[in-house]
Amino acid sequence: MRTMNIAVLLFDDFETLDVYGPVEVFGRLVDIYSVAFYSLDGGQIKNKHGVSVLSAKLEDINKDLEIFLIPGGLGTRKEVENKLLIDKIKEIATFSKFVLTVCTGSALLARTGLLDNKTATSNKRAFNWVISNGINVNWNKSARWTIDDKYYTSSGVSAGIDMALGFISNRHGIEFARKIAFEIEYNWTEDKDNDTFKAE
């Protein structure tokens, strides 16, 4: 079986754990998944946590992409207005086999229109702002993560780990996912519909 490629979108002021939570989960399955980092223009991408990552250009992503991972973070407030980036996200999300968003990453995906009439969630602390970026999306305020067609969207930050484990569970079985949660000693919220941090 060939390794399945995961392209992680980066932009300045991405949220650290939105990226590295799922990267931990998929990354340790080194025989199955291969993780790489991309940004609109390539080069070093930084955030306010002191993290800097060297990225390739989004245009270099191959069309046989398995998973496109879109993190959130403060940078999304600016990037939702970046038409070049949103257009590129739409193009890649369209050919990618699966699209996974973490936290306010769903606001970026919502801006493409691809989430219209689909169920999605986001960070419960930024929910009203996220909704404003996709008024035709069926926003779920109580899910830890959602699945609709090929789109997985998770709640805030840590919930990206739960969603990644949920993705693994759907593809490789729940016992396999539980084994990973056990190895990384993570208290996985197995029920995607039951978020401790649900919005009012």
Q: Which residues bind its own copies (CB under 8 A)?
A: 15-17, 19-21, 23-24, 26-28, 30, 34-37, 47-54, 123-125, 155-159, 161, 182-187, 189, 195-197
Q: How many angstroms separate the CA atoms of 117 and 133, rounded? A: 13
Residue 55 or 112 with smaller CB distance to its own copies: 55
Residue 81 or 200 with smaller CB distance to its own copies: 200
**What is the Cβ-side half-sphere exposure of residue 38, based on CA atoms within 13 angstroms?**
23
Smallest distance, Å, CB 113 to its own copies? 27
In 10 A of CB 52, how many CB atoms? 9
Smallest distance, Å, CB 162 to its own copies? 9
Cβ atoms of 40 and 100 within 8 Å: the answer is: no
Residue 16 or 119 with smaller CB distance to its own copies: 16
DSSP state of 59: G
Residue 112 or 154 with smaller CB distance to its own copies: 154
Smallest distance, Å, CB 9 to its own copies? 14
Smallest distance, Å, CB 156 to its own copies? 4
Smallest distance, Å, CB 155 to its own copies? 6
Residue 26 or 68 with smaller CB distance to its own copies: 26
Whole-angstrom CA distances from 58 to 7, 11, 30, 44, 55 are 9, 11, 22, 13, 9
Helices (H), 112-194: 127-131, 159-172, 174-183
DSSP state of 73: S
